[in-house]
Amino acid sequence: MNLLVDRIGELVTNDPARGRGPLGLLRDAAVLVEDGRVAWIGRAADAPAADRRLDADGRAVLPGFVDSHSHLVFAGDRAAEFAARMAGEPYTGGGIRTTVAATRAASDDELRFAAGRLREEALRQGTTTIEIKSGYGLSVADEARALRIARELTDETTFLGAHVVPAEYAGRADDYVSLICGPMLRAAAPHARWIDVFCERGAFDADHARAILTVGQAAGLGARIHANQLGPGDGVRLAVELDAASADHCTHLSDADVDALASSATVATLLPGAEFSTRSRYPDARRLLDAGATVALATDCNPGSSYTSSMPFCVALAVREMRMTPAEAVWAATAGGARALRRDDVGVLRPGARADLVVLDAPSHLHLAYRPGVPLISDVVHNGVKL
Ligand code: NIG
Ligand code: FE
């Protein structure tokens, strides 16, 4: 069975060799999908016959969103903390321990059901690839459990035992780091592709982060870092030093941080949902782009700092608040996310790529930022299957 997505008004391929500009835009196009892959792309007038047809009727089609940063495995919410912030309280990350307590108390099925619902919610909004972190278990058994559940939803799983030092290790950060680097990593690694550290004042310093990421890399995991979110620090430079796939947040950057990112393969992943929900200043995307850094956009979906699963919302924020052009933001939410996960089979539409497509209820990708808050995702094709 194959599927022809036909009569596409504007097709975003993210393949500059195929179409106009960095988004590789084609007009009046069609895409043939076979066995979960893109089999052919061309002019609608030249489209081959197919078993089934999805008529885009002049609407825009783009690669499915690649959300390269989320924390979907948790229990409870922190709506009261959000309300307190909107009344003037600052965000410090201290609420993470509240979610850790709720998550530890939840059953496997409760966690599975809650994470599965969020995954569905994201998929309906066009997210066809998602990275999911642990980080609300913070014991050997609870971190391994979170990763097992995450693995049921995605291949892009990340071990974040180094989210904060849990209450039972208060004042004994060195002991907790030893636990992470030994038994916790051994239990987590079989279920994870990546390892992440929250490198920030109040969480883990650069020496602890380096130790954890280095031992994780030796165990075969790729590195990523929560860096420079709440203040300036060493996270971004450490990410570049370790050839991490991504430095995430990047809100407080020095010139040296920007230069380091620009001359590296480490992607700057910006998470504007976090600034929105913590009422913080947004990262300076323009500065990163103008310096030549690769920028990705992701949701950071979590119950504390950014309880949104919507990539379209992040695109709109990036354009309005971070001075990205709509084309830059759409690229960052698709191809940029793929770079942050070191993938070349998603975030792009070319023969051989995974057949993940979003049909917008709009004639152009510009509408994602131009019509914020409007449900513009009319159809999603994931792995070649129309939802
Ligand atoms: O990426 N900053 C660290 N971790 C999450 C927030 C977690 C929470 O507040 O529960 C983040 O923003
Ligand atoms: Fe995060």
Q: Which ipTM did the prediction report?
A: 0.97
Residue 1: what pLDDT? 86
Ligand 1 pocket, CB under 6 A: 93, 95-96, 99, 198, 226, 229, 274, 300, 302-305
Residue with tokens 């699963």: 309
DSSP 364: S
302 assigned ligand-binding residue: yes
d(CA 99, CA 166): 11
Q: Which residues pair with 301 in a beta bridge?
A: 70
pLDDT (tens digit per residue) in 254-270: 999 999 999 999 999 99
- How much is the pTM? 0.98
Residue owning the nearest CA to atom 6 of ligand 1: 305
Residue 124: what pLDDT? 98
Residue 105: what pLDDT? 98
309 assigned ligand-binding residue: no
Ligand 1 mutation pick, 118, 132, 250, 305, max ligand atoms within 8 A of CB: 305
Length of the chain: 387
Residue 150: what pLDDT? 98
| Pairing state between β 60-63 and 2-12 | parallel
Q: Which ligand is nearest to the CA of 305?
A: 1
Which atom of ligand 1 is least distant from the CA of 99? 10
217 assigned ligand-binding residue: no
Q: Letter for the amino acid at 262?
A: A
pLDDT (tens digit per residue) in 112-152: 999 999 999 999 999 999 999 999 999 999 999 999 999 99
d(CA 322, CA 286): 7
Q: Which ligand is nearest to the CA of 133?
A: 2
249 assigned ligand-binding residue: no
Question: 10 Å Cβ neighbour count for 384?
Answer: 19
Sequence-separated (6 or more) residues with CB below 8 Å from residue 3: 32, 33, 34, 50, 51, 52, 53, 54, 355, 381, 384, 386
d(CA 227, CA 339): 18
Contact by Cβ (8 Å): 233, 128: no
Residue 214 exposure: Cα atoms within 13 Å on the Cβ side = 10
Residue owning the nearest CA to atom 12 of ligand 1: 305
Helix or strand holding residue 147 (H, E): helix 140-151
Q: Which ligand is nearest to the CA of 273?
A: 1
Residues of the chain with pLDDT under 70: none
